Chain A
Amino acid sequence: MSTLTTHEPARGVLRSRPGRTLTALAARDVLLLRRDVSTFVTRTVMQPLLFVFVFAYVLPTIEGGRSVFSAAGTSFATILVPGLLGTAMILSGIMAVTMPLIFELSYNREIEDRLLAPMRVELLALEKILWGAAQALLAALIVFPAVYFVHAPGQAPQVHVAGWPMFVTVFVFTGLLSSSVGLYLGTLVDVRKINMMFAMITVPVTMLGCVYYPWESLAPIPWLQYAVLVNPLVYASEGLRASLTPALPHMPPYVFLTVLVGGSVLFGLLAVRSFTRRVLA
């Protein structure tokens, strides 16, 4: 009869293998995503798909081919591609980290299951940031075909990658910024305040994120043009606009690159510190 206490795995009990622990945490995240992939895809694609359907197909068709809004002689569909990609990334990155964390920290403190894994707590926080960023990138890949292919006849978005290094930097750091902000929010928001968080954060971030217009076109409303600069989605939209639709007006690259990279580092550090303080009583 075998014993409960002495067993093959016990031989390795004194060795920490953070690489294997991180891989196992990531494997768990991937398993949960695969198990619920239809929810992820539906949640990610529904809003941008319906948006382009109405504003890039239905309205221009009703208006006899005239675009609802245009800039620099391009169609509204062209403006929407980077904006909606940025929205999908920022919201997915935030939600992918914030929602599970709020539940892990509430009621039974399910987070203890992961806190007892043999690695530093800071690494657990880092894994959450990386996984959130991966989901943000995945969201962009899912949303891209919808916002690229759905448009009125003759109003195809004019999209091309202006420069791969800048595009990859914007893409990766938009994911990292969103998940870092998500982790930070998750350590601050109480489970009873989730609905308020949606109302206070996701709606203003989306509506005032320079998704439906380039930042430059806000010039007639100067106070708003400067007020929206607190919104991370503005830099994601403008960065993707500069990378994918360079013909449209956009911020200078040094501005959005500084904010996306600097913001990822700053919020990453803040989030890891806040997470460590919150989980270790």
Chain B
Amino acid sequence: MSLADGPAVEARDLRKTYVTARGEVPAVRGVDLDVPHGEFFGLLGPNGAGKSTTIGMLTTLTVPSAGVARIAGADVVRDPVAAKLRIGVASQNNTLDRQLTVAENLEFRGRFFGMRGRQARARAAEMLDMFGLTARSRAMVYELSGGQVRRLMVARALMHAPPVLVLDEPTAGIDPQARFNLWQVLRRLHAEGQTLVLTTHHLEEAEELCERVAIIDHGRVLICDSVPGLLDVTGQPDLENVFLELTGREYRE
């Protein structure tokens, strides 16, 4: 199957119910998504809305209770290995290998994806340069600043040049300069035709970067459109008001 067949990301009635001591807890209650190749897509929602669970299912790390998800045509349940080859993931948590240096984190990711040593080193050097991390290549992960960690996680996700890049809260907890810097890189990736799926709490980030946005709450997609489309449909002046109108204004844990 060619990568161009079908959407880059596709979800049909995707569901996840966790079975806990207190009974069944539905986290995602039937999500449908279609992200065409080359789109910068945003997934917005308050805490506990089901964003991370949805991302977990799309990236093979969470097994869906029901429904179907495909990454560039690869079914995440039936063929998780093919899905992993097609996706790069920068998780919300710092999942970098703490026992390796910055460069080794990139090189081993490349080798996990079948690159030979020399090829992995060359690609890693290129990524370090692109993300402004060359001077830190021999540093251990725990020596990095928050912004450097985020950049390294995106660089690592791009090591095997995946058709789809998924970023879960990529700018959480970093300063405005680091955020601006990362935005520049993401814009450039988008301009080069990379498909990007981003979850964020920052409405400004979604407005700045995303071509289309889905607002998700209580495990369902409430609305999905371009930002001007959302404003038009809801009659709100900005994305923040759209968000608050749809998800409520009460305090969330």
A113 in contact with B96 (CB, 8 Å): yes
A117 in contact with B112 (CB, 8 Å): yes
Most buried by A among B85, B95, B109: B95
Question: Could you tell me which residues of chain B, from 121 to 152, have a CB within 8 Å of some CB in chain A?
Answer: 123, 126-127, 130
Least CB distance from A117 to B in Å reads 4
B93 in contact with A109 (CB, 8 Å): yes
Q: Return the chain B residue nearest A121 by Cβ.
A: B80
Q: Within 8 Å of chain A (Cβ to Cβ): is B59?
A: yes
Least CB distance from B35 to A in Å reads 16
Name 10 extra pairs, CB < 8 A, besides A10-B160, A23-B111, A116-B60.
Answer: A4-B189, A15-B114, A108-B93, A108-B94, A112-B93, A113-B95, A113-B109, A117-B112, A118-B112, A280-B63
Stretch at the interface among B97-105, B169-177, B203-211, B231-239: B97-105
A112 in contact with B111 (CB, 8 Å): no
Least CB distance from B142 to A in Å reads 12
Least CB distance from A198 to B in Å reads 21
A4 in contact with B59 (CB, 8 Å): no
B84 in contact with A117 (CB, 8 Å): yes
B95 in contact with A20 (CB, 8 Å): no
Note all chain A residues with C-beta closer than 8 A to B95. 108-113
What is the interface size of chain B, counting residues whose CB is below 8 A from a CB of the partner?
Answer: 51
What is the interface size of chain A, counting residues whose CB is below 8 A from a CB of the partner?
Answer: 43
Q: Within 8 Å of chain A (Cβ to Cβ): is B62?
A: yes
Q: Within 8 Å of chain B (Cβ to Cβ): is A224?
A: no
Q: Within 8 Å of chain B (Cβ to Cβ): is A28?
A: yes
A280 in contact with B62 (CB, 8 Å): yes
C-alpha spacing A213/B60, complex, angstroms: 50
B192 in contact with A21 (CB, 8 Å): no
B119 in contact with A8 (CB, 8 Å): yes
Q: Within 8 Å of chain B (Cβ to Cβ): is A200?
A: no
8 cross-chain pairs, A with B, having the tightest CB-CB distances, nearest first: A10-B161, A24-B111, A117-B112, A17-B114, A108-B93, A112-B95, A281-B62, A118-B84
Partner of B108, one of A10, A24, A110, A119: A24
Most buried by B among A28, A112, A116, A281: A116
Question: Could you tell me which residues of chain A, from 102 to 116, have a CB within 8 Å of some CB in chain B?
Answer: 107-116
Q: Return the chain A residue nearest B3 by Cβ.
A: A14
B59 in contact with A116 (CB, 8 Å): yes
Listed in ascending order, the chain A residues whose CB lies under 8 Å from chain B are: 2-10, 12-17, 20-21, 23-25, 27-28, 31-32, 35, 107-121, 279-281
Q: Mark B228-251, 1 if CB is under 8 A from A, else 0.
A: 000000000000000000000000
Partner of B61, one of A25, A27, A112: A112
Least CB distance from A246 to B in Å reads 43
B161 in contact with A9 (CB, 8 Å): yes
C-alpha spacing A109/B193, complex, angstroms: 31
B98 in contact with A24 (CB, 8 Å): no
Note all chain A residues with C-beta closer than 8 A to B98. 110
B193 in contact with A13 (CB, 8 Å): no
Note all chain B residues with C-beta closer than 8 A to A16. 81-82, 85, 114
A5 in contact with B161 (CB, 8 Å): yes
B61 in contact with A280 (CB, 8 Å): yes
Note all chain A residues with C-beta closer than 8 A to B159. 9
C-alpha spacing A279/B95, complex, angstroms: 14
A110 in contact with B189 (CB, 8 Å): no
B97 in contact with A113 (CB, 8 Å): yes
Note all chain A residues with C-beta closer than 8 A to B82. 14, 16
Partner of B126, one of A2, A113, A281: A2
B192 in contact with A4 (CB, 8 Å): yes
C-alpha spacing A262/B189, complex, angstroms: 53
Note all chain B residues with C-beta closer than 8 A to A281. 18, 56, 61-63
Q: Within 8 Å of chain A (Cβ to Cβ): is B180?
A: no
